Amino acid sequence: MDLKIVAQTVQGQTVRKLRDAIISGIFQPGDRLIEADLCNRLGVSRPSVREALRSLEAERLIMIVPNKGPIVPILTLVESREIYDVRSLLEGEAAALFAARASKEAIATMRRALDAFDAAVKTDDKSGQLETTRQFYEEILSGCGNRIIYEVLAVLLARITFLRAKSMSQEGRAQKSGKEMRAIFRAIAAHDSEAARTAAMSHVRYASEAAAKAYAIEQKKPTAA
């Protein structure tokens, strides 16, 4: 991944590049983030890096450890299950609410996101899969009519994306995820609130199971001496 900053808002780009690097695994859980190294790799000033780190700390993607500085925290299996539990409840409700009010334009946007997701799966474009999934859910959450659901899940977005990448690292999971999102889409397009809720909650449950498998595989890997 090229971490160099291009012309746009330097601060926003710095945050986005670091966030993407953490989510994609360039920086692993437990890694220390050295400011001088980040300045060199990103091509930005130390103040820009420090401000970006503060933003990522607020997202819980990094933590500041006394005498060590910023590190990428280890998201435990227990914490991941808690996040999936919250997602199941809130995304199920959001899908049900959205199904009752979804416009033709919103449904068309969701269809385009799913088509783009399928294309990303075919080319094994991991970042494309994550981005199109985000677009799909953004339509549901921003259009469900419940601002609190949107705000709560927005706080969790970075960690949700991290777990999404972990679950979709399992062989065949991306294809299954696409089918599950299609089921959510069909229920919403039919304005069937209960079917949308059921499909959304099932999707989260299957994603949680895939993430748990990924955690189990990681635990079996031998550690470096």
Closest CA to 184 of 129, 144, 223: 144
What is d(CA 161, CA 23) in angstroms, rounded to the nearest whole number?
A: 7
Taking only the tens of pLDDT, the chain with its 225 residues reads: 556 555 457 888 898 889 888 877 788 888 999 999 999 999 999 999 999 999 898 888 899 888 889 998 888 899 999 999 999 999 999 999 999 999 999 999 999 999 999 999 999 998 899 999 999 999 999 999 999 999 999 888 878 888 898 899 899 999 999 999 999 999 999 999 999 999 999 999 999 999 999 989 877 765 544
Give the three-state DSSP class for 54.
helix
Task: Give pLDDT, residue 157.
Answer: 84
pLDDT for 40 equals: 93
Contacts of 108 (CB under 8 A, 6+ apart): none
pLDDT at res. 209: 95
By CB neighbour count within 10 A (0-12 exposed, 13-18 middle, 19+ buried), where does 152 fall?
A: middle
Among 8, 23, 28, residue whose Cα is nearest residue 158: 23
Cα–Cα distance, 222 to 200 (Å, whole number) = 36
Give the count of beta carbons closer than 10 Å to the beta carbon of residue 9.
10
What does the pLDDT read at residue 24?
72
The secondary structure of the chain in percent helix, strand, coil, rounded to multiples of 5, reads 70, 5, 25
Contact 174, 134 (CB under 8 A): no
Residue 81 contacts residue 88 (beta carbons within 8 Å): no
Helix axes 10-24 and 46-58, enclosed angle (nearest 10): 60
Domains of the chain listed by start with CATH number: 10-71 (1.10.10.10), 77-220 (1.20.120.530)
pTM for the model stands at 0.80
For residue 67, give the DSSP letter: T
